Structure 1
Amino acid sequence: MKLENVITSRSHKMIYQSGDTIIKLFDENYPKSDVLNEALNQSRVEETGLNIPNIIEVSKIDGKWAITMEHIEGKTLAELMKENPKDIDKYLEQFVSLQVEIHSKRAPLLNRQKDKFIRKIKDLKDIDASTRYELLTRLDGMPKHSKVCHGDFNPSNIIVSNKGSYIIDWSHATQGNSSADAARTYLLFALQNEDLAKKYMKLFCKKSDIALQYVQNWLPIVAATQLGKENPSEKEFLTKWLDIFEYQ
């Protein structure tokens, strides 16, 4: 099978459009278990009734694992925000409403967020054992929830079409605490635009009726898990959030 229409290139994968489908093609050395887990995550989220692209098949193309799903025609919310800055408040409202809708769903077979966070914090090599211990202690004390959490919710993962808004890229999906999911979204915004991040946080807390301080308590934990990606451009920014006493 010859793939030519490249939509985007990401770490360890290429995204192609082929007719009315999208094909996510992974590198040869990408773990099979991660590919199958991503497809399983998305399939489980499909069952909640959320507006997401349906998976069509998991296969191998030229010796590489691939996930094929339906193509949604439209622009990402990130593109619309960039093209229409005067409408940023409207788009942010739409963005937060979608996130709150995600958190209203349940998918009991998804991996547990807290288990994933524990693994990521334990694997961190750039922070000392005492800091890891304090982060794990804080994590252990946080309330255990079972809400669907996207894990990488940002405007580039929303496609706005004439049929509505579709949420894509469910590779990091878990069931857990919605405030942890919001803390991650806040950090993703803050890496680009701190003012927009603050506006997002305020709107999320209002729409979800969750105290700002409660979401902030997740920031050190979530920043630590993001450090595990070992992105040099993010390291300094994320490290400053590791002061686990900042919001106590």
Structure 2
Amino acid sequence: MSSPYGSSHANGDMSKYDAELIGKGRTAELFRVDAKTVLKLFFEPTDEAKARHEVARMEIVNRLGLNVPRCHGLETQAGRPGIRYEYIAGRSMVERLQRNPLSARSCARILAREHLAIHAHGVSELPDETERFAATLARVKSQLGDRYEPVRAALSRSVSGTQLCHGDFHPDNILLSKNGPIVIDWNDCYAGTPAGDVARTYLILSAPTLPDDLAPILRSFVRRLKRFLAKSYLTEYLRYSEIAAQAVDGWMGLVAAVRLAENVPGEAEWLQGIVDMHYAPKRA
């Protein structure tokens, strides 16, 4: 079954690389090179700048001592830019949830604990959240219509944080290894406000969309499971954080507007509804 959290996979005959293919995403393939390392190979030869961008972020994150794979730098194979990473033996949290839905509560605790550990670090070398979000909102200005100016004004009023934020923290990006959870996919990390990063995770977890290949008999159950995981994660995070629930809610509309730019299938109307709920003009 596909992931219920919106991960998509690229298709097509790409340039071959003589190693075991263990994963494929929208922009790259992941190959097992040897017992200790994997190689992330981007599909397009023109993606070298993207690879350098990712390595620069990983060098920052690796210095912080978090539960993340070690990055061993850039590499080119079959004319394609790539990044060599430490190999992590383990399954994604999504796979655990699919195999054992009763693990949802323990998975929520892991999500909250790892997110808190990430947010404990201040960073200065990463992109600033205000500039990052402003650029993204500009791409969906026409889609937001008369909601754009209120959303943009809310972003301008916000106090930009300096904490490490993952930017795409959800079960697909948690590997459960024998040595504990490992957080992957740091390409969208930034310096910002933890409440905004938490709001994004909550939105991803609670999104109503489901995989196309999910059996009809399971759809209602999986929706309930997603809602339970989202609420349990947020409750657990807030229990051990100094952040108030109102602070997270205050970011929901803005984060929903930003996520519109990702064009996740089936989410647009739902996200627009959240934006409207937070930024629609007040009736007299």
Specify the TM-score bucket, using the shorter chain as the normaliser. Answer: over 0.9
The answer to whether the Cα contact below 8 Å between 1:107 and 1:175 also exists between their aligned partners in 2 is: yes
How big is the shift at 1:219? Answer: 1.0
Residue 245 (str. 1) matches residue 279 (str. 2): yes
Q: CA deviation at 1:179?
A: 0.6
Matching of residue 197 in structure 1 with residue 230 in structure 2: yes
Structure 2: how far apart are the matches of 1:44 and 1:213? 31
Q: Which has the higher Rg, Structure 1 or Structure 2?
A: 2
Question: Which of 44-53 and 197-206 deviates more?
Answer: 197-206
Amino acid corresponding to residue 23 of structure 2 in structure 1: T
Secondary structure in structure 2 of the residue aligned to 1:218: helix
Instruction: Confirm whether residue 16 of structure 1 aligns to residue 31 of structure 2.
Output: yes
For 1:47-126, list aligned pairs within 5 A.
47-126=63-142
Q: Which residue of 1 aligns with 2:257?
A: 224
Unpaired runs of at least 5, structure 2: 1-15, 209-225
**Tell me, which stretches of 5 or more residues in structure 1 are unaligned?**
none
Counting aligned pairs with the same residue, the percent is 26
Aligned to 2:169: 153
Contact kept in structure 2, 1:48 and 1:106, CA below 8 Å? no
CA distance, structure 1, for counterparts of residue 109 and residue 97 of structure 2: 12
Q: Quick check: 1:42 aligned with 2:58? A: yes
Question: Which whole-Å deviations, capped at 9, do the CAs of 1:91-136 have from their partners, x for residues lacking one?
Answer: 2112101100000012211111221101000111542453221111
Report the alpha carbon displacement of residue 175 of structure 1 after superposing the two structures with TM. Answer: 0.8
Which residue type is aligned with residue 49 of structure 1? Answer: G
Matches of 1:146 and 1:178, distance apart in 2: 9
Report if aligned partners of 1:77, 1:156 keep a CA contact under 8 Å in 2: yes
- Alpha-carbon displacement from aligned partner over 1:211-231 (angstroms, at most 9, x marks no partner): 112101111111111111122
Cα distance in 1 for residues equivalent to 2:85 and 2:142: 37
With the length of structure 1 as denominator, give the TM-score of the two structures. 0.92
Amino acid in the other structure paired with 1:5: E
**Amino acid of the structure 1 residue aligned with 2:230:** A
CA distance in 2, matches of 1:79, 1:167: 15
Q: Which amino acid aligns with 1:83?
A: R
Q: Does the C-alpha gap of structure 1 residues 125 and 7 become closer, same or farther in structure 2, counting only changes over 3 Å?
A: farther
Structure 2 Cα separation of the partners of residues 209 and 227 of structure 1: 29
Alpha-carbon distance, 1:30 to partner: 4.9
Q: Does the CA-based 8 Å contact 2:71-2:84 persist in structure 1?
A: yes
Paired residues, number? 247
Match of 2:203 in 1: 187
The CA deviation at 1:70 is 0.6
Q: Which residue of 2 aligns with 1:214?
A: 247
TM-score by length of 2: 0.81
Structure-2 separation of matches of 1:28 and 1:88: 37
